Amino acid sequence: MTDTATFSPLRTPTATRQVGHGDMFTDHMATATWTEGLGWSPLALGPREPIPMNPAMIGLHYAQVVFEGLKAHRQFDGSMAVFRPGENARRFQRSARRLAMPELPADDFLRAVDAVVGADESWLSDDPALSLYLRPLMFATESNLMLRPSREYRFLVIAFVAGGFFGDTVKPVSVWVSHDHTRATPGGTGDVKCAANYGPSFVAQLEAQRAGCQQVIWLDATERRWVEEMGGMNLFFVRGRGAGAAVVTPELTGTLLPGVTRDSLLTLARRLGLGVSEERVSLEQWRSEVRQGLITEVFACGTAAVVTPVGQVRDRDGDFRIGDGEPGAVTMALREALVDLQHGLAPDPDGWMRPVLG
């Protein structure tokens, strides 16, 4: 890894600026290129800067673009650690395979993440509500409009300081059920992170906002019956209360993204003594079980959203409220267990946190 960067802040440090999500970028980026016949170049660490591109670049026209999202957290002792980056490295490879792109070696992915965190950790204060969000990205760079995979690619990692995805406090969100649009189809790209999955979702998100909701609920593309995801996040349902509570999440059918946070919460739920299952849940089943008092809590999860409670569902066939509309005990217990582990305040028996030396 070569370092060609000098420190020159591009944004106001966190101590003097309110933090949102996705706009407080740090100084550095790690990059590498791939060329057919030559393979991957050495990784380089340099300043975050604009990327020159030809208007005939294949990535712009045919959406050969994949990305990841993961976070580094300040630990209780002041050090830095990244949450489960190996899982993101492997998912990045799966996404690349699906889009006929070259696979980046997992070790290079991890070294790039380490390099950016090590260079820019000073941007992150000790406020536990903040984190350093890493965005690995790979896109096709060959200038050629033949309808085929590119023969050249660029990989990079940038970072930004992240606050709460839905604001500074944990509040229940309201959601809109989309019957007219779907996020993914069988045999498509719903189980990988490619850019083409996200642009088409914006129209439904705007529809949700017009209905007074923060997010959209996706149903399956075949029957328009089964609940799949919330926006770009995985969903969980809580059945029961107290010691008898159980968490349920839609099973992976090939149209859902296998979220790293989703997988982590399944493990943490078992450690807390909760029942755990993965199964298909229909919209009508969700509505009925809420009315019967069987489903007592609902929450979404993801790298950006962490664990976010759902309080209200708006639907063309009638709205309904989850429990009393407030964050539930199971939701908050799982959120606390996850956040404590990420900040080094709870045991890490599976080695999920990767230490980074600044």
Domain ranges of the chain: 2-163, 173-342
Tell me if 82 sits within 8 A of 112, measured CB to CB.
Answer: no
What's the pLDDT at 86?
A: 98
Query: Given the structure tokens 């229909």, which residue do they identify?
Result: 282
DSSP run (H or E) holding 98: helix 85-98
Q: Does the domain made of 173-342 have the CATH classification 3.30.2010.10? A: no
What's the pLDDT at 357?
A: 82
Tell me if 229 sits within 8 A of 219, measured CB to CB.
Answer: no
- 334 has pLDDT over 90: yes
Average the pLDDT over 26-48 and give the result: 98
Structure tokens at 248: 């349920």
| pLDDT 10s digits, 76-95 | 999 999 999 999 999 999 99
- 168 has pLDDT over 90: no
Q: Place 358 in a pLDDT band, splitting at 50, 70 and 90.
A: low
Give phi and psi for 316, each to the nearest 5. Answer: -60, -25
Q: Place 18 in a pLDDT band, splitting at 50, 70 and 90.
A: confident
Classify burial at 304, counting beta carbons within 10 Å of its beta carbon; exposed 0-12, middle 13-18, buried 19 or more. Answer: buried
CA distances for 36 relative to 33, 39, 101, 150, angstroms: 10, 6, 11, 9
Question: What's the pTM value of the predicted model, to 2 decimals?
Answer: 0.93
Higher pLDDT, 5 or 309: 309
Average the pLDDT over 147-156 and give the result: 98
Considering the four listed CATH numbers 3.40.50.300, 3.30.470.10, 3.90.245.10, 3.90.1520.10, the one that applies to the domain covering 2-163 is 3.30.470.10
Q: How many CA atoms lie within 13 A of 26 on its CB side?
A: 28
How far apart, in whole angstroms, are the C-alpha atoms of residue 155 and residue 65? 10
What's the pLDDT at 12?
A: 42
Query: Given the structure tokens 């690349």, which residue do they identify?
Result: 96
Q: Place 169 in a pLDDT band, splitting at 50, 70 and 90.
A: confident
